[in-house]
Amino acid sequence: MADVDNLRPEKAPKIWRKLGLKDFEYEMIVEQLGREPNPVELNMYSVMWSEHCSYKHSRSSLKLFPTGGPRVVQGPGENAGVVDIGDGYGAVFKIESHNHPSAIEPYQGAATGVGGILRDIYTMGAQPIAFLNSLRFGPPNNARSRYLIEGVVAGIGGYGNCVGIPTVGGEVYFEPCYRGNPLVNAMCVGVMPLKRLVLGQACGEGNLVVLAGARTGRDGIHGVTFASEELSDQSEEDRPAVQVGDPFLGKILIDATLEAVEKQLVVGVQDLGGAGLTCALTETASRAGTGLEIDLKMVPLREEGLEPFEILTSESQERMLFIVEPEKLEDLEKIFQHWQLPLSVLGQVSAGKMVTVRHHGEVVAEVPAESVAGGAPAYEPESREPEYIGKLSAFDLSALKPAGDPGQYLLSLLSSPDIASKEWAWQQYDYMVRTSTLEGPGGDAAVLRLRETGKALAVTVDGNSRYTYLDPYLGGMLAVAEATRNLSCCGAEPVGITDCLNFGNPEKPEMFWQFRQAVEGMAEACRVLEAPVVGGNVSFYNEVEDEAIYPTPVVGAVGLLENAKNYCKTGFVRNGDLIYLLGPCEVSFGGSQFLKELYGKVAGRPASIDLEMEKAVQALLRRLIADGLIVSAHDLAEGGLAVALAESCLAGGRGAAVTLASGLDSVLELFGEGPTRVLISLPPEASDRVLDLARKKRVRMSELGRVDGGDSLTVKCGNALAFKLGLDELKKAYEEVFSWIRT
Amino acid sequence: MNCGVIVFPGSNCDLDAYHLVRDVLKEEVTYIDYEERSLQGFDVIILPGGFTYGDYLRSGAIAARTPVMEAVNRFACSGGLVLGICNGFQVLTEAGLLPGALCRNDSLQFRCRQVYVRIENNSLPFTNKASTDQVLMMPVAHGDGSYYAPPEVLQDLEANGQVIFRYVDQRGEAVKAANPNGSCENIAGVSNRAGNVVGLMPHPERAGEAVLGSTDGLVIFESLRGYCKGREVLKSG
């Protein structure tokens, strides 16, 4: 990390390089500032112009996302997106990565990831109601991976449980490419009366700039710079760049902040996350088009002797910035005193557009807010299709001819870490606190009731990086389609999505190509499925020693259920119900779990998607659920039809008997993967009506069999028995693989 | 029944207890601040779950020394009904209002799941609507729920009928597999000697509505309601 005393350009030539800036970027700073920056200013610029804060390699691509729509109240650019969910209420949500910190210090990395995304939600004035997370690790067959897995899961629980917001869903996948660079993406969802919405803007000349919450220390200095580089052997030395969370302080800071918002004591709120005070000051001023006069002496410090640049770039957690009208300060102070939280006036909003920072009477920085917060260049990086794409997609899937016992195939898929029950993780999360969780972890989406309106929200996170690796454009479409489909499987109408885009080094043309393709695919799916992107996060440089992760876009989606009583679960419900497959029959082994588990390969072409059909299937599903015609619905994902059947049997504790049409390739039929396919069950008397509605929507429905109430899953192909497996065998395979983690 | 739900810094199941009393039982309920010094007029005081003061020292240890706990102590000494749930149970043991202590789960991990508990003593104001040996399904969600007391204390508790809830399997057997945290003798909840202060690790307030998976927790609140009503009748009579 930079040595402050020698930061002056004339003393240490090209010091900006050490701070992660390019020569060209330094020249831009000099031009925008009209002079050479002093060391403090250079530090401010370098954190704000880091990839993490400035999105300089992604900004132009992110413009492809549809961000508007009739429900969108606040799109990207604020702390979180806001979507109108009726009755004067809004849903507020965002997903964010904490990959690099978690690779170095899994517990604190994950915990502060949760704390950070939480602040983004209540900063808007919303009551947080749920967490979700998306995790990727190396295979859990070695001590290092297990250390990361256990640390990350404990960290997520440690923070979420303590603040009292339920962690209701998520996903965990394992691939060798994540061994050195795990992914930890955390999502938070909140709800608020829309009239209470408060933005991160420093409005009103003369208003006070108030810092509240934790004292500022030396943790997390230049955390964003660290997050904008590839990981290496030396990354362990960056441990001080990882922040330490204090969930108790986080909890009372929520209570105090929401009380202040409810009592209308603040005109602007901004949390302090990446790039700390620098980010909060310059972003709030730049959004409002104002300036700020700040005195660093007023910042409550954890220890003596912090340099101005340290105070300005520290990422100490659990801090909030408020913009307050002077006459309301006293009331605000009362709230924070009650919670025994420090609160300090740093300065005020000024005319002009400069952020002026003083320390012991001396001006230590004077920078244009807009230039620091938004002046970074937007790159159009070079893009080139990687060679592996052609090679892997040419893999001849038809040569596989699997001839083994389909029952054994199913058991090995169910016991693969990717598919196996994730109860080992979510039993460490309090998923019920706030007593609104109607459907917790383990289903297609979680469902939370809204006491205020009688409605409910469905929430999910999804992403299959094998598909995106093999075909980033298609993979991007599939991620959006799967996330929205999971909502529709509960009966919820998708109202918006947030995305976390985890990729390698964008300065490498192959990596950027993956990114661009994936974004284009996602954008196309969002357009057709009418799911606006209201916020998100990009995480580049997920590479260790030149080995990049699979391109991993993760989609967090939020859906609205008009009636909290009317939602569908994944498990079979009643003996005698009919089982159907809704949607097309095209499947592929390309990128499938089957190919990975049984052949050790990630190759081939995943089945393509017809987005119009996807839209029709999802609309049909929602209609069938709203009308009470079907009683269970489960999205077909990894492992295809056979795994979905097993999961619906296990979730409902009921056996089923299924017959596939003869003449088909039964192994492909059972284990091939394809989008837009949903397993449903319904009472026999509803079948005519359901078939009729499907026909009208031109959605294919194939009858498979019946929930027979036995204790096994029987699958026939024509007259031949493919397999018959007891529920206990299925359950054992589904649950035992993670027994090492249950001490 | 007039209930008070104490809100310590870091309580986070206060909303759930409040909601259950107000919206499910349709009884009177008020939040009580941790700095409050009087509990006059309340029939039942609930110490809710959560992570008071982050549980940073020992679970419940700091909350046990807040001003409101002096009032709770007086309230309990004068026969008032006090129910501690999860962290509230931990606070009551730390405050010396209940015997024993709650240690780290034997798994060393937080556990959130449904458990079964058997009612061991149905003669208390908290349990008198339950049948003998009634089994309730309720969730637990805690990291420090392993009940410990020295052997001689355990003996006393058993002899005095102060063990109120015990972890059991679905059939009501107190087997080891049914114990989610390594508690001594599968103990899930205890009372004080007088029987007017009860603490338990499972969350009855999360088991009060069918949509949440169980209504078994209601019997505790129904018992309290019945007892309070009876007391009113006595007073007015």
Q: Give the per-residue pLDDT at A742.
A: 53
pLDDT exceeds 90 at position A118: yes
For residue A730, give the DSSP letter. Answer: H
pLDDT in tens, A558-568: 999 999 999 99
Q: Name the residue of chain A whose CA is nearest to B33's CA.
A: A338
Mean pLDDT of A684-701: 97
Q: CA of A681 to nearest chain B CA: how many angstroms apart?
A: 21
Give the one of A252, A338, A449 whose C-beta lies nearest to B10's C-beta. Answer: A252
Mean pLDDT of A683-695: 97
Report d(CA B89, CA B126) in Å as an integer.
Answer: 14
Higher pLDDT, A234 or A91: A91
- The pLDDT tens digits of the residues spanning A429-480 come to 999 999 999 999 999 999 999 998 999 999 999 999 999 999 999 999 999 9
Interchain CB contacts (distance < 8 Å): A and B: 89
Chain A hits for B55, CB-CB cut-off 8 Å, are 162, 248
Q: Are A642 and A715 in contact (CB under 8 A)?
A: yes
Which pLDDT score, from 0 to 100, does residue A661 have? 85
Q: Kindly determine whether residue B139 and residue A432, on different chains, have CB atoms separated by under 8 Å.
A: yes
Predicted local distance difference test score (pLDDT) of residue A218: 86
Q: Does position A520 have pLDDT exceeding 80, yes or no? A: yes
What is the pLDDT of chain A when averaged over all its residues?
Answer: 94
Look at strands A319-324 and A291-295 and give their pairing: unpaired
DSSP string, A434-480: TS-EEE-TTSSSEEEE-TTTS-EEEEEEE--HHHHHH-HHHHHHHHH
User: A706-721: per-residue pLDDT in tens?
Assistant: 999 899 999 999 889 9
Quote the radius of gyration of chain A (alpha carbons, Å). 26
Query: In the annotation, is B70 catalytic?
Result: no
Q: Which amino acid is at A69?
A: G
Interval B125-167: pLDDT, tens? 999 999 989 999 999 999 999 999 999 999 999 999 999 999 9
Q: How close B183 comes to chain A (CA, Å)?
A: 16
The whole-angstrom separation of Cα B202 and Cα B138 is 6
At A487, the pLDDT band (50, 70, 90 cuts) reads very high
Percent above pLDDT 90 for chain A: 88
pLDDT > 90? residue A229: no
Query: Given an 8 Å threshold on Cβ–Cβ distance, is A154 in contact with B109?
Result: yes
pLDDT for position A10: 54
What are A367-399's pLDDT values in tens digits?
A: 999 999 999 999 999 999 999 999 999 999 999
Taking residues A656-679, what's their average pLDDT?
Answer: 92
For residue B78, what are the contacts with CB-CB under 8 A and spacing of at least 6? none
Q: What is the pLDDT at residue A243?
A: 79
pLDDT in tens, A288-319: 999 999 999 999 999 888 999 999 999 899 99
Q: Report residue A235's pLDDT band, with 50, 70 and 90 as the boundaries.
A: low
List of residues 6+ apart from A674 with CB closer than 8 A: A584, A585, A586, A587, A588, A607, A636, A640
Phi, psi of A317 (to 5 degrees): -85, 175
- Which chain B residues are within 8 Å of A431, Cβ to Cβ? 112
Which band of pLDDT confidence, cut at 50, 70 and 90, is reported for residue A242? Answer: confident
Q: How confident is the model at residue A743 (pLDDT cuts 50, 70, 90)?
A: very low
Q: What is the DSSP string of A15-57?
A: HHHHTT--HHHHHHHHHHHTSPPPHHHHHHHHHHTSHHHH-TT
pLDDT of residue A546: 84
**Which residue type sits at A294?**
I
3-state SS, residue B88: helix
**pLDDT at residue A109 is higher than 50:** yes
The pLDDT of A322-330, averaged and rounded, is: 98
Q: Is the pTM of this model over 0.90?
A: yes
Reply yes or no on whether B86 is catalytic. yes
Mean pLDDT of all residues in A348-356:
95
Mean pLDDT score, A595-605: 96
Give residue-wise pLDDT tens across range A247-267: 999 999 999 999 999 999 999
Examine the pLDDT at A11 and tell me if it is beyond 80.
no
Fold category of B2-236 in CATH: Rossmann fold (3.40.50)
Cβ of B51 within 8 Å of Cβ of A449? The answer is no
Residue A2 has pLDDT above 50, yes or no: no
What pLDDT score does A240 carry?
63
Q: Report how far apart, in Å, the C-alpha atoms of A344 and of each of A298, A418, A708 are.
A: 6, 48, 66
Angle between helices A472-490 and A611-626 (to 10 degrees): 10
Is the complex ipTM more than 0.95?
Answer: yes
When pLDDT is cut at 50, 70 and 90, the band that residue A219 belongs to is: confident
For A503-513, the pLDDT digits (tens) are: 999 999 999 99
